[in-house]
Structure 1
Amino acid sequence: MKSFHPLILLALTGSATQALAGGIQLYEVGQEGAGLANAGSAALASDPSVLMSNPAGIAALKGTQVSLNGQAVLGDLGFQRDSGNDFSGNEGGNPLPILPGSSFFISHAVNDRASIGFGLYGNFGLSVDYGDDWAGRYFTEKSTLLGISMQPTFAYKINDDLSFGIGPRLVYGYYNTEMAVDNNALLPVNPFKQDGQLKYKDTTTGVGLNLGLRYRMDARTTLGLAYTSKVKLDFEDSPQAKGIQNPLLQQALSGVQANNLELDMNIPQTLTLSVAHQLNDRWTLLGSANWQDWSDFGDIAVSLDTAGGTASGTVNRQYQDTWHLSFGAQNQLSPKLRWNMGVAYDSSAVKDQDRTVDNPMNETWRLATGLNYQLAPDMDVNLSYTLVWLGDMDVQQSKRSGETLSGTYPNSALHIIGGGVTWRF
């Protein structure tokens, strides 16, 4: 959500709306740096996963290095209705199932100046599933948005202190969503006991570019500056409806189903500045500041309001740019064991009044820790844990008929557990 809105929670908007929300862009893909809450991400270069955050970093790696990582995102998020709610149904339970992920990185020093590398990773997207009996089913039932990146990388040492890197990025995007349609809409009585369903699924690809500079100010201090361009994902498919018994809704949906629905989404561009300072033989202090262009995420949706029986065009999700600040430290407990720790803050991509049940984002705090152990002279293993705290999130979302889904997500959080291994040849 990177910002934690940064891996983004996603789903659809409106009454049986076909709209893409945001998601979470995660910093954590199982690598050692996950235990630092992104602190120093563009300055540190301890393994080839650095090419994801700063492609210039692989110029500091010797020989050939390979990292294989995995992580699991566990949600702790639940909606609770309040007295202002007009919809029947349950509260959806925990809509965030366990979301597993993995990544692969490799780097190779061609000579004293040039290095090449490759990364396969997924740090964008999330999945929610409220079920088909929850109170907000006419807004969304389930939705999955995933972005998998493939990034060849080239880095070059301009001199002993300054390196630059470039990594063209190919992103494979997958989007799948479902919502309920109220068969009794537009009718004075309620003859239908079952809801209809509206589904949409598509895959696409997009391209972008990662750029980076890494500068060693002195023997103890390193700066990193990294930029990732936006990646445009154009989903285009025909929505599929089933179980629509209301003839008025059948007519309204016929036009939506007859044509392909285009959903244009931009994975936001980002800019990161990081610093790493070796205080002494044991301690290294780290920091990062980051900006993400969420205001350009996309104004995308086709809204079908069952109360009005009409379809509308795009919906502006009112996203806003986010910023991130993190601080961390590494403690070399022994020649083989390193302890990582970090804290980070991310602003919210939506204002409180614009929050929706398909997009229950908020400002977030990260607390992270991890261990890296040298199992053999040519192999390290790492484990990390990150708490992503979203706090309380109030939501009020209305249909044109005036019915309101109202409630809160209390004490919301994500738990991210990761680990990996790095081989050096």
Structure 2
Amino acid sequence: MNSRLYTALSASLLVLPGQVLAGGLMLYEIGTDNTGLANAGSAARAQGPSTIASNPAGMSYLAGTQISAGAQILFGDLTFNRDSATTTSGSGSGNVLDPIPGGSFFISRQLDERWSVGFGSYGDFGLAENYDDDWSGRYFVQSASIAGLSLVPSVAYRFNEQWSVGVGLKAMYGMLESEAAIDQSPLGLTDRADGQYKFKDGTWGYGANVGVIYAPQAGTRIGLAYTSQVSLDFEDRLDVKANSPLVSRLDGFKTKLDLNVPQTATLSVYQQLDLQWALLASVNWQDWSQFGDIGLEVDTSAAGSRSTSIDAHYDDTYQLALGAQYQMNPDLLWNFGVAYDTSAVSDGNRTLTVPMGTAWRFATGFTYSLDQATDLNFSWVAVWMGDMPVDQQKPLSGERVSGEFSNAWIQALTGNMTWRF
């Protein structure tokens, strides 16, 4: 008898208290007004303390003390439709994306005409998914999530009217959780109910944000920002529930997954045309090719067992974003933007655990000045990923799940307030 067992632990999962697919799992939307611009001009705008996340040099343009707090809700439709090549039994996936809340907090303080300091707390990495327990791909994944919460104390220095630099030290707390069913039917059991495994861990990783802004003339800013790689090393023991000794022996199996949150670089331009209009643009790069292994795969057969890691086969991603701001009246500013993200994974390497691909984002938002010291912003973005085919197969058993995520989309609604003192 050809016995088989498959356990997939993926660390490149889907959300968190922050955003959506950015070609990978880096989040552009983190509960700020940047949401309404689709990331256009993010490294050059310097219009509030959330610049700590996009370019800490922007604090040099913020007077006095400024505080910004934001919240958002993420929702959408990620539904997998299997095709005739699928060999496992079970139901459809259902919508794997549950509504997800998120938020952020930033504070900046101008010390003098040259120095500024600040602090940011936000989630800028991750995603989460929840499949139906009895769906046909349950042996690959039932639920999976990874979240990265960043704490970033920052400082900026302004050399003169043209040049500013900034740096932030990032401490990211990563949380990973994965769950999948285990197929016990090939093991010759009378009771062929599925087994179950869970993996859960949290860990800290560290990195930095650095940036520079050059203003060649009044109303023109060019920003370049870089975020370093953050390594998250997850290590815990499998929690396995099964009635087969061959399967239950994996309970307590020590498992380690090392992830590299990608380094990124963003070049942005902010150009004020007149008292009402400003144009913004950004080009972003993310180093997904260094992400590492996507998970752990354990197979057993009559001849024995085998444990291997799964290479993510990721490629670097790029984003082009264009946007504009229109000052409708002294109290109301309209933001809007559009962006295109390349995919970190080809159709042949896409997994059920990480259903990501190319993405178009369409965004808009409004900032209303309640008074000279208080702004209120509401923003919205729609991310359309279209059809994303997936074809996964186990190497020993040959169990296969094939089909596509059809007309996949995600939206985020964001609200935040900024106070100036």
Same fold (TM > 0.5): yes
Structure-2 residue corresponding to 1:274:
268
1:306 positional shift: 5.3
Greater mean alpha carbon deviation, residues 24-33 or residues 366-375:
24-33
Residue 129, structure 1, aligned to residue 135, structure 2:
no
Q: 1:138 to 1:307 in 2, by over 3 A?
A: farther
Once the two structures are superposed, the pairs formed by residues 102-121 of structure 1 within 5 Å of their partners are 102-121=103-122
Matched, 1:54 2:49: no
Amino acid aligned to 1:304: V
Assess if the C-alpha contact under 8 Å between 2:96 and 2:130 holds in 1.
Answer: yes
Give the corresponding residue for 1:206.
205
3-state SS in 2 of match to 1:315: strand
Q: Which moved more, 1:233-242 or 1:297-306?
A: 297-306
Q: Deviations over 1:319-366 (max 9, x none)?
A: 111011000000100011000000001100001100111111111011
Aligned positions of 1:118-197 closer than 5 A: 118-187=119-188, 191-197=190-196
Q: Which amino acid aligns with 2:318?
A: W
8 Å contact from structure 1 (residues 182, 306) kept in 2: no
- Confirm or deny: 8 A CA contact 1:274 1:286 kept in the other structure: yes
Deviation at 1:279, TM superposition (A): 1.1
Match of 1:358 among 353, 357, 376: 353
Q: Does the CA contact (< 8 Å) of 2:11 and 2:176 recur in 1?
A: no
Deviation at 1:45, TM superposition (A): 0.9
Aligned pair count reads: 405
Q: Which residue of 2 aligns with 1:74?
A: 75
Q: Does the 8 A contact of 2:13 with 2:127 survive in 1?
A: no
Once the two structures are TM-superposed, the CA of residue 307 in structure 1 deviates from its matched residue by 5.7
Q: Does 1:18 align with 2:9?
A: yes
1:247-291 per-position Cα deviation (integer Å, ceiling 9, x unaligned): 33234x25xx24x31110111000000000011111100000010
Moved over 4 A (4+): 306-309
Structure 1: how far apart are the matches of 2:100 and 2:136?
Answer: 24
Q: 1:123: how far off?
A: 1.5
Q: How far, CA to CA, are the matches of 2:319 and 2:326 in structure 1?
A: 23
SS in 2 for 1:185: helix
Q: CA deviation at 1:93?
A: 0.6
TM-score, normalised with respect to structure 1: 0.93
Which consecutive residues of structure 2, in runs of 5 or more, have no partner in the other structure? Answer: 15-24
Cα distance in 1 for partners of 2:6, 2:76 equals 25
**Is this contact kept in 1: 2:12–2:146, CA < 8 A?**
no
Q: CA deviation at 1:75?
A: 2.3
1:160-209 CA deviation, whole Å, 9 max, x = no partner?
1110000000001111111101111343xx62242111011111001000
Could you say if the C-alpha distance between residues 47 and 134 of structure 1 is closer, same or farther in structure 2, counting changes exceeding 3 Å? same
Distance across 1 between alignment mates of 2:186 and 2:197: 15
- Check whether the contact 1:233–1:266 (CA below 8 A) recurs between aligned residues: yes
Cα contact 2:321–2:340 (8 A) shared by 1? yes
Residue in 2 aligned with 1:348? 343
User: Which protein is richer in strand relative to its size?
Assistant: 2
Matches within 5 A, 1:23-422: 23=14, 24-187=25-188, 191-242=190-241, 244-251=242-249, 253=250, 257-258=252-253, 260-305=254-299, 310-399=305-394, 400-422=396-418
Return the offset for 1:126: 1.2
